[in-house]
Structure 1
Amino acid sequence: MLLNSAVDLLQNEEVEAIIGPGSSMQANFMIGLGSKARVPIISFSATSPSLSSLQSQYFIRATLNDSAQVPAIRAIVQTFGWREVVLIYVDNEYGNGVIPSLTSAFLEVDAHVTYWSPIHPSVTDDQLVEELHKLMRMPTRVFIVHMLTPLGYRLFTKANEAGMMEEGYVWILTDGITDFLSTLNASAIDSMQGVLGVKPHVPRTKELESFKIRWKKKIQEEYPTNEISELNIFGLWAYDAACALAMAVEKLGAGNFSLQKTNISRDSTGFESIRVSPVGPNILHSLLSTRFRGLSGDFQIGDGQLRTSGFHIVNVIGEGERGVGFWTPENGIVRRSNSTSKANLRAITWPGESPSVPKGWVLPTNGKKLKIGVPVKEGFSEFVKVTRDPITNTTKITGYSIAIFENVMETLPYAVPYEYVPFETPDGKAAGSYDELISQVYFQKYDAVVGDITILANRSFYVDFTLPYTESGVSMIVPIINNRSKNAWVFLKPLTWDLWVTSACFFVFIGFVIWTLEHRINEDFRGPRSHQVGTIFWFSFSTLVFAQRERIVSNLARFVMIIWFFVVLILTQSYTASFTSMLTVQQLKPTITDINELIRTGQRVGYQNGSFIFTFLKQMKFDESNLVKYDSPEQLDGLFSNGSRKGGIAAAFEEIPYMKLFLAKYCSKYTAVQPTYKFDGFGFVFPKHSPLVSDVSMRILIE
């Protein structure tokens, strides 16, 4: 019927342009005819994004594409920090058209569509209630609704009855419902309290108000029984489309608008051949260049459709809607339409008359506790320790990581019920590596994993980590060389033999000089020959500890002693420093300092069983046959004691937290050497896009 009417207009009425069709489905039929006849087809209500892919230059959309509102909705979700949303839409061409754009747009702001809920246009009330109950059992509480008013009214009526319009819920409407909020009755508005919606922004002007008055008066005269006389956005776009076409024709001036018959006798639809308009291309060109201030705002066609000027964000409250802000392509969300500075939205009343922003998710309401997986290991139990009481058959989970997690969960502003589940085999052994433990979250066997789990880039592809709660890095542990001498002459080693002999000679020489200067005038340096020789040696060596008893009378001798005291001070202090360094620092010298030396000489190195360090060492070009695993600090000490040639190891690679524990126990035997390889420390594991990640991370920072 539509196709016949269009062909009749083109063939018999010889039209040069067509305003219409009214829907996207009708536009699919009309676009081909317009291209064949070279007649502009101007639609003010065909909003489906799929029409853009047809790329017909003769199809002009004097309305906004449904996808034009997607950035505004995305900006709202981003502003309030919601990470998960549910899309509820009518299951037809209108509803399905915008869903791909919404899904990809949310990913750009790190939000995730957890569920798609298509609603059939002829859905029954029972089916609608069943679908709503399914949504209630999900943790996500942010719902994006894309459908038209009749179905939307039924949806919100049932949602209100089901208790889904209470505090904690978020509902965001596309323009399919928001444009017609003023036409809904009081009962429908009551069931939508607290809902947010977006709709094309229409500036308030004197021309618009005057036109509305004339429109209402005209409708009341011609249709006195019609209770609804409000002019919606499609009426404004229709008026602007007609004005734009009139302006385009006026630019061309009067002319011959005759049609020429094509050489093709029949088209593909079987209708009589379509005539080609000689002026259609000119009208199209003139229309595309037409710009003016219309009733709906600035009218300008770009890429075959009306350019977006902005969207109005409204909040359903009381008896109708209240504007809370705007979104523009240039400035994003702003409080006023003419503002260029970004600002928060006005105060919003959320469902349940709540003034506080909903967090957008809740824990499942079925009373189920979160299953928290914990690693089972033999050594390094300071972080996680799983013990089982053989009498009561109860399991107790303790350790530093567990204490941090429990403290964080206690400080959350909401209760999170959870239970620990050890990752173990029936005989109590570890059920796999840390990577296998983390994969249990991805496969939804665990809701989270808590323990000494290292944050790695490859693991972040399928799970989310909180911020780290320990320092990061991997270092090499090696034995230290014991340079402490075992003989009784160790005190001679700080000075070389040359220096010892020289010092002794100087001691004797200084004694002789002082005796020469003093023995004639100082009785302390007189007496028998043997006494004088003894005085020379005694006086010089007693200056080491400044214990000389002889008086110095000669000024020249005093001058010599000043210089000698200075030399003795330097000599004794240097000896003390060297001797101390020899007994302490030198004995901490590591046996190996170069990783390349380990690789070149084929030395055996150790790594903790189940750790990612095994993969790290293989990437460092270590031969897999030279990699030895261990489970505990005691086992690591034993491997070091055996040495690389006797089935042990020459070095071990360990994360800093484990390294500190090991060195605290064996500080006299081993040391850590540089470099330290950067890693991100220990964190807690949650499913991808889990809303708990941000809250737990925030508490880790506070703690």
Structure 2
Amino acid sequence: MGPETSLEAKFLAVLGDKAKVPILSFTTSPSFSTEYPYFLQIAQDETTQFKGIATLIESYKWKDAILIYEDTETLPYLVHSLQEKDIHIAYKRAVSPLATDDQIIEELHKIMTMETTVVIVHMSPSLASHLFLHVKSLGLMREGYAWIITDKTMNFFHSMDSSVIGSMQGALGFKSHIPTSNELHNFTLRWRRKFHMEVMELNVLGLWAYDAIWALAMAVEKVKMPQIREDSTTLRLNLMDLANIRASKSGSILLSEILQTRFKGLSGEFQLMNGKKLISKAFEIVNVIGKGDRRVGFWTLMDGITKKMNLSVEKKYSSSHSGIEAIIWPGESTTTPKGWVLPMSDVFKTAIDALEYEVSYEFIPFVNANGQKAGNYNDLIYQVYLQKYDAVVGDITITRNRSLYVDFTLPFTDMGVGTLAPVVENKNMWIFLKPLDSGLWITSASFFIITGFVVWAIKHPINEEFQGSPAQQIGTALWFGFCTLVYAHREKLKSNLSRFVVIVWVFVVLILTSSYTATLTSPLTVHQIQLASKGNYIGYQTGSDMQGVIGRSNLNFEGLKQYSSLDEYADALSRGNNNGGVAAIIDEIPYIKLFLAKHPVGYAMIAPKPTTNGFAFAFRKGSPLVPEISRAIAKLREEGKLIMMENEWFKSQSSFMSQDSVTSPNIPNRLDFDSFGGLFLISGISSALALLIFLICLLHKKWHAHNLGNLSWGTFSVHHGVILRNH
């Protein structure tokens, strides 16, 4: 009991038939029990579900669909069901359970270049989990797409991780229908109490297994014990001599009793006929929404002929229809997808469509007979030179050597290379001092003091707040100067000269504090790689020309390391220079943007340099399409469509990749006196001018008072408090 995969089931079917021992299988592949009478299929036949999927697609008038699947044996049945409804398969691809993240992403990128947006996923829950996490991160779970998931995944939906469920929002799924009953409800409660698990619903496969165990136990009880006793040597299974296995004497009796067993189990009515479990051929159509799924339809196939599908939007019910809830599609949209979109990520198709005449083309992958890459980029370019291909479409870098063999169009991506480095958290307790260098700190402090004493000098003779003992006057001057930093000075300024000095200085303080704040929160946290120093290991992409680019850059480094995938990039950068990794990765800007789209946190691109010519399309020498495509690319760039395509291609799981992740080499790490010399000069001249005017006015007043005093003594006399004027 228990084989699930087709390979296991076929092997045990042969073994059970030879040993005459009943085999109870959970495989959902089309049954082959007529060939092997001892093989009993107790799970639902997938072909019923495939007919339902085809009917669902037909109900929305979608003409094309994409297939992504894991099990190749059932694919012909799914293809046949779609073809019966005149549904064209735009693309189909088998994904291995051992597929890496890069391989899955590569397949999803191919889907991004297609116009068809109806995708059928038929794979195990573990593989589907990896797939949909990347579907979400690449932006394919968005408005306009329709994802249809088979019961191979949906029957295990509630046991999936919450992050996976979140990545499937808006998808439609088929689930095996289990009728509700008091027995099932009570059993679920007992299960929760016994295993202390808060489960939404029990696994369908587990319910089928539970009923199968009961059927087997009931059959064994009906078989008389003397009839099933075997010689001890007969019961032994020699795994080294399977061809000479002895047949069980009681196996046929047990098989007969199992086939006659009928009862109402947790999964519904249990009855076997012709080696298959006779169960309701019904499926629930559910909509993944929130943290779970919501039933929106029902599919059943009766007697293989009568088809019935009740779907909440099949008849385009209005929102006012009682009891009907609209389907929530990807992107939280309630609008039914058209089934196709203009592929914004494919520059070549857009450029071709922009031509005034029609050009037919066919994409042919550059792979060998085993489906593996047939060579590097230079090999691919050479195939165009040999006229085996008319053109090459992809991430082809323009180089001088390649241009000897092919003609390139205008580049459609950024030119140059960048340095990819990890972002490190700076835990220095004195980090707040780093935005300004020591000279600027000293100069700023000096001007605070100078401004305070200039205002004190101007206000001291006439303002009591600036008077008192020498210590009080010094404290007041310092207090006033540094309070201008937060505009918190409380001393009143009645003199126009003091107001002039403070206004100019406050303007300088405003610029200084704004620049300090911006510099402190700027990309100073990015790990700046000193590529000119020794001891650094630098990584680059295998098969690329980066080794030559790095060599021509005259960088002084310890060594170079090659990596062939984005995951290897992340691993090397996370391990670091001293733990077998690298200090930085140097690659072309589009590849770095692709990496940052997949890893938006913890890494950044620094020091981009225009040392390469970007990506372009390669054609045969003299091809008339080169200038035409180049003009189309130039038009797309002028209209801003290229940047839209780039944002669509490189966007991360949360949003479009922020430009803040790209650090320009022109942004200073520290602010120095040279950056603010002009401001300090203006402030110094203003303070000196105000102080000079104050001194001139003060001397003028004293001189005027002195002359007035001399005049008074010569013309007036005071006697007993009475002023007598001489005539």
TM class, shorter-length? 0.3 to 0.5
Using the size of structure 2 for normalisation, the TM-score is 0.44
> When the two structures are superposed, what TM-score results if normalisation uses the length of structure 1?
0.45
Higher Cα Rg, which structure: 1
